[in-house]
Amino acid sequence: MESNANAPADSLDGAEVTSTLAEAPIYHSDDPAYRVFVDTLSYLEPDEIALILEAYRFGEQAHQGQFRLSGEPYITHPLAVAGELSEWRMDAQAIIAALLHDVMEDTAVTKAEIAERFGKQVAELVDGLSKLEKIEFQSYQDAQAENFRKMLMAMARDLRIVLIKLADRLHNLQTMAAVRPDKRRRVAHETLEIYAPIATRLGLNNISRQLQDISFQHIYPMRFRVLTRAVQAVRGNRRELLLKILDGIRSTLHKANIEAGVFGREKSLYSIYHKMVDKHLSFSQVLDIYGFRILVKDIPTCYLTLGSLHSLYKPVPGKFKDYIAIPKGNGYQSLHTTLIGPYGTPVEIQIRTQGMHHVAEEGIASHWQYKDSEESGADLQLKTHKWLQSLIELQSATGDSSEFLEHVKVDLFPDEVYVFTPKGKILVLPRGATAIDFAYAVHTDIGHRCVAAHIDQELRPLSAELANGNQIEIITAPNANPSPNWLSYVKTSRARSKIRQFLKTMQQEGSSTLGENMLNQELQALGIVPSEIPATAWERVIHASGKKSRRDFFADIALGKSLAAVVAHRLAAHDEVSQTEAAAPEPLIIRGTEGVAIQLAACCYPIPGDPIIGFLRKGQGLRIHTHSCQVVRKSRRTEPQNWIHVAWEAEPDQLFDVCIRVTVKNVRGSLGRVAVAIAQAGVNIEQVHMNSGNPGLYTEMSFLVQVRERKHLATLMRALRRLPDIVRIVREQE
């Protein structure tokens, strides 16, 4: 179909539209879909309904002449989205925004026009839903990341935005038959990666299942058809056993005078497929588990029901979960138990109240939809608000949209662990979270200063993974700082962003100081006093480098992006700069606490007292080696311009890693005696590695320990040599 200049661009969320040059007829308001939509608005006040119908006419006129690729008038899409919101009994502003959610993006209507006719709040909702079509991005991934960031930030201001967006995405997926197959797969992948997890995170399990199943159908149409036929066949074959279990449950509850609704619980196609792939199970293994859901009147009855069912069938040990006492992060509450039913068949049971069921199916939308879930909905709103506030904090910490999207994806996985603070407060973290994630969840300063953790009263490293029920107490030290290595095992977006933010700040500050010292060293060699260089000379050199400030300029020198010697000669070339007699350059002073700008090489582990030299690698800062290091011997001749004269500070107040190799007699208890001797010498042990050389004769142990300087190391080695088990002890250096 031919399109005009005002035709909307190919949408990123699957809503394909075209326009015709000819005057197109307006979508008739007596259409059955329109009449059904109007009927669903009966819960609203008459003046609100009138405003909604006015918004429909406004949107219909704005989209006149625009068609979806299916051939339907484009207004059918916003009408369907608004209809979904009216089923959730959303307020009038949300429904109006749903009817107008594409007018700013696809037509000439402005935010000001919407605000004038329907109010400022409606205009803000529509703006939050509009994508950034007028901004050019380098790639689709950049555009996706920025649009997603904008949506989440708008969602943090008003939760109704995400409900409209999810309803929009669901209808787009349901009506993509005319869309190109490659685009269908792209939109479906994006849905599984972002939108379905958001729905799950907000407790919208019903819409999440629909998004997953339809996306699965678009990505793997053949697998979807095969699995659909297989599920239909199995349901017919196992009907007799299903009814037997159902009758047994109902009979048991009736004898216990428990009024309950008992329903068979069908697995969604995507959940079946995902479990087959993820757990390497066959189709029959996944479908051999029968699921039932039991709805009762109140919480005490939930626990009475649980006891009755455990008397009917034997429970499977370790398969009971109490999500009523400890709800999931998205507000989900139920009792879960697995029983051994007839013929050894596993039976999964969920027990919940009607209010819990509403929250479980509709999540945050249940706040508008059901009065009996008001208390649960308020609690869920509070949890959702905290999560959204954490997104705002995360956005301010990262700034970069792609990095922000990467962090948020981590938080969208549903697997969780529930752990306790020393005071008994429950924290919900993603599965695989470590003690560091816990520390940052408590407070940023605790995360920055943590050095170890007590997990269930046992001293554990910060990298230890947490399990359900752990009680964690974080040990901090005033001079401790985050390590770049932490990024390799933290799981939460909060911890990752805080660590990166700290390291960037440290790198900037440390690099700037280091770069200034390196430049001063070169200026001294040319007989130039840095403090006497006029501002005009600095301005010319910094301007020529393309940097905005001296701080950025010095950081480039520290990271090897600019050579200090070249910069020094450029400054010396200016007429205003006076030169004196050249002096022997002073070495750069190293404290060992500069952060990522200066790193101590792991090949030789230099410590104060060792003669040292620095190697400047472009983009990586200054790496300190000992003079005797093999790396220095190999590359000092080939890259002499990158080696810098450095020296230790007179009395550094810091501990330094060093590696020692101890050969001991292979007798019982030797490791313990060596470890005790190291501790008594006032030395921390970071790592231990055992290597049996000749069984029955000796054992080699490598210890990574922390010492203050060479004298401290010498004291330790003398103490170890006094042990009768020691055969040999050396400091390990390449």
Catalytic residues: 105-106
Its sign, for the CA torsion 706, 710, 712, 715, is positive
| Cα dist from 25 to 22, 56, 65, 80, 319, whole Å | 9, 16, 7, 19, 60
- Provide the b/e sequence for 348-360 (b: ≥16 CB within 10 Å): bbbbbbebbbbbb
3-class state of residue 442 by DSSP: helix
- Token output for 645: 């004269």
- Residue 662 sits at φ, ψ, to 5 deg, of -115, 125
Instruction: State the amino acid at position 628 in one-letter form.
Output: S
Tokens of 27: 């979508």
Give the closest residue to 100 by CA, choosing from 138, 170, 140, 51.
51
Q: With contact defined as beta carbons under 8 Å apart, do 733 and 657 qualify?
A: no
Residue linked to tokens 């200090």: 564
Q: How many of the other CB atoms lie within 10 Å of CB of 138?
A: 7
Cβ atoms of 626 and 598 within 8 Å: the answer is: no
> What's the residue count for the chain?
734
Say if CB 688 and CB 700 are below 8 A apart.
Answer: no
CA 60 to chain centre: 40
CA distance 508 to 501: 11
Q: What is the DSSP letter of 191?
A: I
Helix (H) or strand (E) holding 98: helix 92-99
Q: How far apart are CA 119 and CA 106, in angstroms?
A: 20
